Structure 1
Amino acid sequence: MNRPLVSFLVALLAIVSILGFSGCIDEEKDAASAGEAAAVSVAGSTTVMPLVEASAEEFNKIQNEVQVSVTGGGSGVGIKNAAEGLADIAMASREVKPDEIATYGDRFQEFLVAYDAIAVVVSQPIYEAGVTGLSQQQVAAIYSGEINNWKEVGGPDERIYVVAREVGSGTRDTFNGMVMGSVEAETPGVTTYHGSNAEVKTAVTNSDKAIGYVGMNYVEGGALRAVAYEGVMPSAETIKDGSYPLSRALNLYTFGEPSPAAEKFIDFVLSDEGQDIVEKSGFVPVR
């Protein structure tokens, strides 16, 4: 092989190597740039979770400065994680409790993001058999075990399968406080406890004689129906006008002032675009 050809091949290989190395550098720069996005973790209420997940998905698409991740666990878990620095933002379907403030300190910052309602739901066959509404007294008696057959509230002669949320759930706390008279109320009539709204919905749907309670946005789909409570059906209108007794506020919490990245996400949820997502997720916007 002649020398000019060898020199040409050597030069060509050198150019290819340089270009390849440059490409690797560019890829590393891109990866580093992507890694610069501030991470914001959100944890807590499974009631609030659908609207926050939908908001985070859109927020992560439209900008690259902050990346938000969302996990459940219940209101109590979210508040604990935020206070202990394990999450940047807590989702809660209730207010922070006095004992949580006593444990962690009075540094929680509250951000109201939506309104919701707890819907009392029954299995489709029970609704079709005539149980389309219940009073506070009747629901409390079912959960306390005083009423255990559907015939006692106008339904069929079937034992009631009673479904509730586990300890730590904001939905459970709100239900117990509003229906049973105390957040700490005993509910010996309960058959099974579940960790999320979705699990309660599945339990009621899979039974032909169940009662349970879920966030209003979990009512759609499945063989279950919301019943009127104290003569009022849960709806956006009855939540807004305050006529539905089991209405509640949905909040985000930070422990202390939110970080700049967390504040950007909270501001997005409260923006017009974010509140549109709230409404599309089945909740009532705050604006």
Structure 2
Amino acid sequence: LIILYNCSLSESMTIKSILGSELNSIQLNMIIWNNGPTLLEENDIVNHLEASQKKGISSFIYQDIRNTSLSKIYNYFIQKLNYDFFVIFDQDSNVQFSFFQNIYQYTNFAIICPAIYPKQKNDKQCFPSDFEQRELVILKGEFNLGTTRTINSGTAISKNLIEILLDKHNYVFDEKFAFYHTDHRLFDLIHETSETALLKGLCIGEMYHDMTCELPLENLSQHARLEIAFAKMLMRMYRTQNPKQQIIRNLFYAYKMKKKDQLNFNSFLTLLKCVITKEHPRSKVTIDNNIKPTHSYVVN
């Protein structure tokens, strides 16, 4: 599943690198969700489907330009599709040639993920990392799911892990979160679930990824600052025993974030709304249960 935003199919580093990867013995279904703000151009779609056909990849393009919450998109396809491993990608990840072979060869692991290097500091691995100490990175090899976290992009989640989470919680991604920290909340859920915390993951290979969090504050747009503020506030709220009792403290914390993160007045008001509703504003946007791809190519 690849999420595009303000990006064409031909411009996506993720799509380009997947089309160049080794897929011997692998049946790959590529779901592309265009999250807006405009529809994809027809010639871009035609070129992509031709490239998918040559590579032997089934490709399905969905277009909903409302900038829908990522957690809702993830959950929708997790529960709709048939698969052995479900892999999430942002549009700007550089996928190694052997990425899918690494999954194919190690199917006994609950999660398989590459070592993540931010494009902003490509000599510094940042994920996977220790669950509590983010600066303590996990080296390549096996790890316990309950003591580790990583980002969504490039993470292959096994059907077995997904089925356990759905059985215990009825969801995989927390839909109160929309964009940032949907991955942190996933690993919170894994950590808190005894049946999944002891499962094994594998870090293998490398992936370079655009990490907004590595940019200094002055380089972030007001929109990016607000999205990060939403994520920090929601993490604060849902890592307490009873968030309803914390509303006064959270309002005060929002005021401190306004100053520290240099939020303008409108952003501050929107953050206050998040404190009161206890969810991201985009969480109210729903996906049509009968949505169909606008374009597709299916390998026979």
**Larger strand percent:** 1
Q: Which has the higher contact order (CA 8 A, sep 6+)?
A: 1
Q: TM-score, normalised by structure 1?
A: 0.23
User: Higher Cα Rg: structure 1 or 2?
Assistant: 1
